[in-house]
A = this chain, B = another copy of it.
Amino acid sequence: MNRLKKIKDDGWPAGVKKTKQRESVLAVLKNSDKPLSAMDIYSKIEKNGSSAWLSTVYRILELMVKKGVVIKTNIMNSEMAVYEFNRFKHKHYAVCMRCNKIIIMDNCPMDKFIPQFKDEEFSVIGHNIEIFGFCKDCK
């Protein structure tokens, strides 16, 4: 894995110029254990004393997703995408229907599951799973 050094040992994607803004975005994502929206990332960068225009944040995120360093998701059909640092760990989230808290699920229902399709052949590459309900504070 990682034989071609697509991602360098320090976690920086190969062939990508280092700039203050890019380092800020990646640092914010590395320091978070929850997925963040572009706006969240923008705010945290400002709070850290740095700066990066919102459109720049979007461009950086798009690049990092393409490089495989960052994962983009839409949680609970929200209109806002969230991004997280790719730690190459397989995981899923449970989302509280009242407070939107995100809880990491430790096991995966797809582990021993063979999907069955109606008529069609289909080669499975991956899956998204999202559980919803109420967290202990909300119910």
Q: Within the complex, what minimum Cβ distance (angstroms) separates A87 from chain B?
A: 15
Interface secondary structure of A, over-half rule: strand
> For chain A, which range describes its interface: under 10, 10 to 19, 20 to 34, or 35 or more residues?
35 or more
Identify which of A4-12, A34-42, A47-55, A105-113 touches chain B: A105-113
User: Is the pair B125, A97 in contact by a Cβ cutoff of 8 Å?
Assistant: yes
Chain A 70-87 interface 0/1 with B at a Cβ cutoff of 8 Å (1 = within): 001110010101000000
CA distance A126 to B135 in the complex (A): 13
User: Is the pair B109, A110 in contact by a Cβ cutoff of 8 Å?
Assistant: yes
Q: Which residue of B lies closest to A125 (CB)?
A: B133
CA distance A122 to B79 in the complex (A): 24
A118 with B103: in contact, given A77-B81, A125-B134 (CB under 8 Å)? yes
Q: Which residues of A contact B (CB under 8 A)?
A: 72-74, 77, 79, 81, 94, 96-97, 103-107, 109-110, 113, 115-118, 120-136, 139
